[in-house]
Each structure stands twice: as C-alpha cells, then as structure tokens.
Amino acid sequence: MAYLLKTTIASHLRSHIQEKREDALSRRGYHVELGPREKALLADDPVLKRFKSHKKSVWRLKRMGDVLTIVVVAGCCYEIYVKAVMREEARRQARGTESA
C-alpha cells in the first residue's frame, strides 16, 4: 500500500513539475515590447542624477581596494618567507653547535 501511495505521489509531482516547465518556457519564448509606463520608468531622471555614483570615482576606489589587497597579501607572503628562512638558519646554527 505504501509503495502504491509513493509511486502515485511521485508521478503526480513529476507531472506537476513538467507543467511548470512548459509554462516557463512558453513565457520566455515570446518577446513583449515595453509599454509607455515601463519606458517612462526606465528613462533617465535628471532629478536623480546627483544621487548616482560617479563611475570614475567608483573605479578609482575599486582600484585602490585591489591594490591594497595585493599589498597585504604580498606582505603576508613575505612574513611567512622571512619566518621560514629564520627558522632554517636557527636549525643550521643548532646543528653546528651540537656537532662541535
């Protein structure tokens, strides 16, 4: 009985999902021209110009952030390298004093 219930529910869900997919495909298949209201909403509004970010300043800020990120990563790599070299030198000195 549980098997029958399970298969009928699964088949119902499968058919329901297929119906949704067909609806989604049919809606995407047609191009609908924008109406006057949508065009008015998408048009540039001179009142809002002062609130928009300036592309040049945003580009500079992003560039500065990228440069700072690279500098910090390079500094961390350098610190790791210096610690590894110092540790290796300490090991060499320890071996030299140990054998002498």
pLDDT (tens digit per residue) in 68-92: 999 999 999 999 999 999 999 999 9
Q: What DSSP string runs through 14-59?
A: HHHHHHHHHHHHHHHHS-----HHHHHHHS--GGGGGGSPPHHHHH
pTM of the model: 0.45
CA distance 17 to 62: 43
Name the range with the highest mean pLDDT among 3-7, 56-60, 86-90. 86-90
